[in-house]
Amino acid sequence: MIYRMPKRPERNEPCWCGSGKKYKNCHAAFDDRLLACQLRGIQIPPRKIIKTPEDIEGIKKSAVINIAVLDEVGKQIREGMTTQAIDDLVNEVTYGMGGTPADLHYQGFPKSVCTSVNEEVCHGIPSADVILKNGDIVNVDCSTILNGYYSDSSRMYMIGEVSEDKKKLVEVTRECVQIGLEQVIPWHTLGDMGSAVNAHAKANGYSVVREIGGHGCGKEFHEDPWVSYVSRAGEEMLMAPGMVFTIEPMVNMGTHRIVEDKKNGWTIRTADGKPSAQWEIQVLVTETGHEVLTW
């Protein structure tokens, strides 16, 4: 379905963004440019996902907690620790700083963070039965709410002595995010970013998960757009200033295919049992480039 831009204010009326400025001095040129892109067949962002300065401040404050949690996990994670202990730590730091873990009870998710070990691609459920061992690679995916604003990021942690091939997977996945980030340029498209991510993974002999992607993030956990990392340059939604979304490719050492855990209904694993890695950052598109909100 094609998004239709809502009625535009008159030039001297207040802007729709709530800045209090006259439309002609605020988002009028922005809207002109969106409509020109739409005429060229490019999908344009709905108004509701364009962040105001107040929204951006809100997300940044939430991000302070989100980053602090992952920093603390980095300090404490070690061989012999259970993934439940990571969940405990996420609760301690998040609540301690006045935030709420977004994962808890999200669509019935039972814990406060996702911990995905080795062949687990995402949505691993913390458990007292899962003990981290030497050589494991673990993704800790943390999402935080503060004053109604969401922040979302994830990092990889390596436990003890990790094999060279797993280390490379972790490192290349991080590079994929960096290379994707460099393509976050206003008025380019999400496909420019996603295709760059995919190309780097492929060049290293890896594959990128297709069915699960990134998302817009702000007053809701998962907002439009849905973000693919196997997309094509010039395709997908326009990246307009004021959009906030995640770059969070899941990169597999073997096949891109995945399977869902039938018993818990959450955990996604690689279909071939080979390792998978993911880093997630939250990025703001600015007038001149981008700003990383969480890493």
**Binding footprint of ligand MF3 on the chain (CB under 6 A):** 103, 106-107, 109, 114, 123, 141, 143, 152, 248, 280
Minimum CB distance to ligand MF3 smaller for 31 or for 248? 248
Helix (H, G, I), strand (E, B) or coil at 30: helix
- How far is the C-alpha of 274 from the C-alpha of 3, rounded, in Å? 40
Minimum CB distance to ligand MF3 smaller for 195 or for 267? 267
Cβ 15 to ligand MF3 shortest distance, Å: 31
**What, of Co ion, ligand MF3, none, does residue 276 touch, CB below 5 to 8 Å by kind?**
none
Minimum CB distance to ligand MF3 smaller for 116 or for 270? 116
Which amino acid makes up residue 1? M
Residues 6+ apart with CB under 8 A from 112: 87, 90, 91, 94, 101, 103, 104, 126
- How far is the C-alpha of 279 from the C-alpha of 155, rounded, in Å? 5
Minimum CB distance to ligand MF3 smaller for 30 or for 221? 221
**Strand locations in the chain, DSSP E?**
100-101, 114-117, 120-122, 137-146, 149-158, 207-208, 214-216, 223-227, 244-247, 250-252, 258-260, 268-270, 276-278, 281-285, 290-294
Contact 233, 195 (CB under 8 A): yes
Cβ 247 to Co ion shortest distance, Å: 9
**What, of Co ion, ligand MF3, none, does residue 87 touch, CB below 5 to 8 Å by kind?**
none
Q: Which of residues 107-166 bind Co ion (CB under 5 A)?
A: 152
Helix (H, G, I), strand (E, B) or coil at 122: strand
Q: Which of residues 216-275 bind Co ion (CB under 5 A)?
A: 246
Contact 53, 46 (CB under 8 A): no
**What, of Co ion, ligand MF3, none, does residue 107 touch, CB below 5 to 8 Å by kind?**
ligand MF3
Cβ 264 to ligand MF3 shortest distance, Å: 11
**What, of Co ion, ligand MF3, none, does residue 114 touch, CB below 5 to 8 Å by kind?**
ligand MF3
Residues near Co ion (CB under 5 A) are: 152, 246
